[in-house]
Structures are given as C-alpha cells and as structure tokens.
Structure 1
C-alpha cells in the first residue's frame, strides 16, 4: 500500500479535509486495475501525460499521484496541475505536494503548480490526458458563491466571520440540484478539455444518479464528427453498498 500524504498543515476551517471520498480516489487510482490501465494507456515511449485535478482542496490526491508516479503510471515523467476556486486550497495543495514529493524523489513526477480558477476555463483546448475530479456532489438547494475578498482581509488581520469561512467549505460539497450542477459543467466540457488519449476519473454519490450519468456520457459522441469515437463510462471503484446502493463510486471516462 502506498503511503498517504500528510495534510496536517492544512487549515481545515477553510479547506476541505480529506475524507472517505478522498481515500476512495487514492485506493482506486493505485489499484492494480487502474495502474495496469494507465501504464498501458501511456506507454514509456509516448509523450509525458498531463494530469489535472480540479478542486484539489488539501492536495492529498494530487500529491499522491505526483509522488507515486512511477508506481501508478510506470513512469516518473508525468506533469501535474491543480485548479481550485479557493485560493487557500491552492496554497495547501502546493505545500502538500512539495512535502510529499521531497520524501519520494525517485518516484515523483513534475508538479506544475496550483492555480486559482473556475474549473477548466483557464486551459487551452484538448490538453488534459487525465482529469481527476472529486466534485461538490451533495444535493443542495443552491450553489454557494465565493467571498472574493476573504483572503485579502485575513492577510490584513481584519476580522472574518465564521459564516464567511463556512462559505469556502460549502464550495467543496454543495452541488446544487441532484448534486450535479458543477459536475455537469465538467462533463459537458470533456470533449473540449481532454486530449485524444484523454480520460477522466469522476467521483459520484448515489444521489447523483450515477447510472443515468454514465448512460448520458456514453451518448455524448452521437452527433457530428465526434461520433467516430465511442465514449466509455465505467465504475472502477466503490465504497461499498448501503441499503442496496453504492454509496460512492469512481467512474472512469474515456474514448475508444
């Protein structure tokens, strides 16, 4: 079992703390099924794969992938990047990756940094080889808005209310209708974001109606030139069943 990165430095009042969903991603991405798939999909004589995690939060998943590149991808030359709308998460991710890779210098890939941004809006088209997303998946009435001035006020030593800090944590779990409003944006963007060999690992909960989501993804290529490539969506990791439902699952999305 590969060691889990330490996140003891992360301010959990402002950044999502690693939980069951985070650890399910670690277990799934390092499983023999996934490592075999990834090593064959990105053979040593192919260009270095570019891995993007959206909403890395504490950075535990991105640090895990970067530090254990040789074991997960069977090559150490991967490139990794995190994008998070929460600037505190960006700082935490950078620190987590730096601390973790320094302990695994011979197996680590190359960390490009953590950028503050709105999902994939800052990327050039069709550049991502592996997209990893643990989205805000809890069904809620509304999506929270980001308190834009929070970091500046904290740095100035100004008082910040508990309610304002809580808004940052809401961003990490509040998913709107069916918990899918943010996830739907990412799914819809996949044809423009993923490279020709690109794939995505997406976490869903039972409330997201994962079987319907997978069916919708499989139908994405039915129109236009994209129809020549068949989209695949398969569950590759679960947290077990609860009342007959898989509580959490990781879906791998790719094209054939």
Structure 2
C-alpha cells in the first residue's frame, strides 16, 4: 500500500483539508486498473506499445530457437497538472509514487491554484513526500527495485490552466469546487495598506478574515449545479490536453455525472467512471471520471 503524503503542516484555516474526495483520488490512481491504463498510455519500456511510434521488429536466433519481439521507443516524458491542488496531497502522491503509478520515474508534475497559501502548502507537501520516497529508495539498497520519484516543477498561482501552453498536458487532475451554491465567490484581490493605497506584497502579507473566508469558499463553492468552474475546465480540455492526454475529474451526485459523461461522449471524448465512494440512497455520492480520446 502506497503511503499517503503528510499534510500536518498545512494551514487548514485557509487551505482545503484533505477529505473523502481527496482520498478517493488517491485510491483511484493506486487501483490496478488505473496503474495499468497509465502505464500503457505512457510507456517507458523499449518493448511496450506506444501511441505514436511505429514498432520495429527484431529477431533473435539461438542454437535451438528463433524469437521475434516488437521493439518500440519509449514515449516522451509526461506532464501531470493538478488544478487547485489545495494541500497538495494528491499531487504529492503522484510525484512521490510515479514509478508505481505510471511505471516510470521520469514524470513531470505541476500544480496551479488561485490560493497563494495552497501553492505554498503544495510545495511543502510535495517536497516532504518526494524526500520520503527518495529515502525509501536509498534504503532499498542493491536488492531493491524502487525507482526515484518524479520531478516537481512547482506550484504557481493562476486561474485554472490559462497559463499553460496549448497541448502540453498529458494528465490533468481536477478536484473542483463542486458544491452547488447561489453564486461563485470572488477571488480575493490584493489588500491596500496605508493612506497612500499602496498594494501590499500578497506573498508575505498577513491575510484578513475576509480573505481567509473567501479562499475557503473558493475550494468548495461551485455555483449553479456546482458546475460553473468545472464547465470552464471541460471547455478547455481540447486546447489543454496533448494528443495522448487524459483528464481525471471528480464529480458529486448533484453535478449530474451521467449527463456530464453523455455530453462529453457527444463531443468525441471517452468518459468513464473509474472510481466511486459508494452508493448513498441509490446515488454514487462521488465519482472520478476519466476523460480521454483513443
């Protein structure tokens, strides 16, 4: 069982605390079906199928047998982007356990969050998880088969994937603000300090109570049907994802996941539920939907 990254350092007064939805994502990525899918989607071995490269057939002849195997180059290093990583527990899990989850250690990981405290928390969560994984790898010694964890590019403040180059993302992960609310909360702006109205440094300034409240609201308030932010991300998928790209999207029952999947399929995507939190009153309370194209 892969260890869950520690988030004891995270300021939960302003950053979303890992909960059932976070752990459902971890369980989904660690499931045999998803590790198999990701390993096949982003192969590293010279003797596995790739999505884009034609195979080369070679024949090995011994004194008694002749064997033929299909040899293909490894696929390019995949980029994993999590939008709204919050505490960083999911991104840290993907970075620290990339060899087990993707079948390869050369994975790039990146987080983007509108909450400056979440960015700082994510950086620290990933740093600790990767350090622990590296220590475990070193401790495996000559007899171990462990591989070093993925590379972490950082956690930056931004509005969803707007700052990412088109077609660059291979795996997009999004645990959105999915709770239906009358409206979306506004993103806090820089607080002005003093009579001159000079903007304070948002990376070091002490947050106000109003900012704390708004930052937490941003983590759960999804507007109409809890889907307003999610709709923006789904609309951006064709531009954001690479040709081999896949997205993992968390939905709750109020988001009408069956309708969402049907709409995505009508737009040419494959969309399947690959993780659930179980049924409640006949409904799947939470679902992880995998979105991709063949």
Shorter-chain TM-score: what band?
over 0.9
Aligned 8 A contact 1:71 1:107 in 2:
no
Aligned CA RMSD, in angstroms, stands at 1.3
Give the match for residue 187 of structure 1.
Answer: 234
Measured in 2, the distance between the counterparts of 1:46 and 1:177 equals: 40
1:68-117 C-alpha deviation (Å, 9 max, x unpaired)? 00000010000000000111100000000001100112431000000110
Unaligned runs of 5+ in 1: 222-230
Give the match for residue 226 of structure 1.
Answer: none
Displacement of 1:19 in angstroms is 0.2
Measured in 2, the distance between the counterparts of 1:197 and 1:138 equals: 30
Give the match for residue 115 of structure 1.
Answer: 156
What SS is found at the alignment partner of 2:208? coil
Q: Is 1:68 paired with 2:97?
A: yes
What SS is found at the alignment partner of 1:104? helix
Measured in 2, the distance between the counterparts of 1:165 and 1:113 equals: 23
Give the match for residue 168 of structure 2.
Answer: 127
Displacement of 1:219 in angstroms is 1.2
Give the match for residue 21 of structure 1.
Answer: 21
Measured in 1, the distance between the counterparts of 2:172 and 2:92 equals: 14
Displacement of 1:26 in angstroms is 0.2
Q: Is 1:200 paired with 2:243?
A: no
Aligned 8 A contact 1:154 1:160 in 2:
no
Measured in 2, the distance between the counterparts of 1:51 and 1:3 equals: 20
1:200-248 C-alpha deviation (Å, 9 max, x unpaired)? 0000000000000001111113xxxxxxxxx100000000000000000
1:131-175 C-alpha deviation (Å, 9 max, x unpaired)? 000000000000001222268479345x722x4311100000000
What SS is found at the alignment partner of 2:80? strand
Unaligned runs of 5+ in 2: 45-73, 135-146, 192-199
Aligned 8 A contact 2:87 2:118 in 1:
yes
Measured in 1, the distance between the counterparts of 2:284 and 2:110 equals: 30
Aligned 8 A contact 2:116 2:203 in 1:
no
Give the match for residue 235 of structure 1.
Answer: 273
Measured in 1, the distance between the counterparts of 2:202 and 2:102 equals: 42
Give the match for residue 87 of structure 1.
Answer: 116
What SS is found at the alignment partner of 1:58? coil
Identify which of 183, 203, 206 aligns with 1:142: 183
Q: Is 1:171 paired with 2:213?
A: no
Answer 1 or 2: which has greater helix percent.
Answer: 1
Aligned 8 A contact 2:110 2:153 in 1:
yes
Aligned 8 A contact 1:235 1:252 in 2:
yes
Q: Which 4+ runs in 1 deviate beyond 3 A?
A: 150-157
Measured in 2, the distance between the counterparts of 1:60 and 1:148 equals: 26
**Rg larger in structure:** 2
Measured in 1, the distance between the counterparts of 2:40 and 2:203 equals: 47
